[in-house]
Amino acid sequence: MKDSFKTAQEKFWAGKFGDDYINRNFDAKIIAGNISMFSKVLKNTKDINSIIEYGPNIGLNLIALKTLIPQSKLSGVEINEKAVKILSENKDIKVYHKSILEFKSAAKWDFVLVKGVLIHINPQELKTVYDLLYKTSKKYICIVEYYNPKPVALDYRGNKDKLFKRDFAGEMLNEYKDLKLIDYGFSYHLDNNFPQDDLNWFLLEKNK
């Protein structure tokens, strides 16, 4: 994959920082937490046979979803080469080694997931990513991110312009009028059994 990207954020995650992220997040407890969270997300869904995740890293979310929906066919679009090698070892996952900003497909999936990724996208490119989520979804879009009612930029492990909080789901609901909010929730980092990283999740459904 090329090492020149459209945005500084892509280069950041394709390189050493993205590699180091893998080492910090290779934990079976994360899968348990994901199973708990996605069981809540999926309770108001039906007929999910295909899933794509944008930015799956090493696939811990997809592994959890496969546990909950064994018949589902999995795909992932991942920018980091080291993560792609690990993802590719899981024969249940079709892997696309691409930046989200470059990925194009005529295919559609029943359940489109983005988790902890939109917060790291250059805000000027969010519309491109929203379009991708919308156009590749047959029915459901699941957004799991840090929430803030207004856009704000924060330092991320000492790095500037690498973490942005805002109302991603609300922006998609405003942009695409045939989307509706089905459910939402919060996962707390001090949960006794299944902690997550203070993430808000939103389940959207296409009315078409």
Tokens standing for 68? 């909950």
Query: 21-25, 60-64, 157-161, 173-177: which range is least confident on average?
Result: 21-25
Q: Write out pLDDT tens, residues 84-103.
A: 999 999 999 999 999 999 99
Residue 10: pLDDT band by 50, 70, 90 thresholds? low
CATH of the domain spanning 8-206, picked from 3.40.50.150, 3.30.1360.170, 3.40.50.300, 3.40.50.970: 3.40.50.150
- Token pair belonging to 108: 């559609």
pLDDT in tens, 43-73: 999 999 999 999 999 999 999 999 999 999 9
Residue 98 CB neighbour total at 10 angstroms: 16
Please give the average per-residue pLDDT across 164-169, as a whole number. Answer: 97
Do 142 and 123 touch, CB atoms closer than 8 A? no
Question: Which has more pLDDT, 110 or 2?
Answer: 110
Q: Where are the alpha helices (DSSP H) in the chain?
A: 8-14, 16-24, 28-41, 60-68, 81-88, 126-135, 168-175
Place of tokens 């509706």: 180
pLDDT in the model for residue 54:
98
Mean pLDDT rounded to a whole number for the chain: 89
> What pLDDT was estimated at residue 169?
98
| Tokens, residue 69 | 């929906």
**In which element (H, E) is residue 77 found?**
strand 73-78
Is it the case that residue 20 has pLDDT exceeding 80? no
H/E stretch holding 156? strand 152-156
Plot region of 101 (φ>0 → left; ψ -120 to 50 → alpha; else → beta) = alpha
The answer on pLDDT for 74 being more than 80 is yes
Mean pLDDT to the nearest integer, 11-20: 54
Handedness of CA 194, 146, 53, 99 (dihedral sign): negative
Which has more confidence, 121 or 162? 121
**% of the chain residues with pLDDT over 70:** 85
Check if the beta carbon of residue 201 is closer than 8 Å to that of residue 64: no
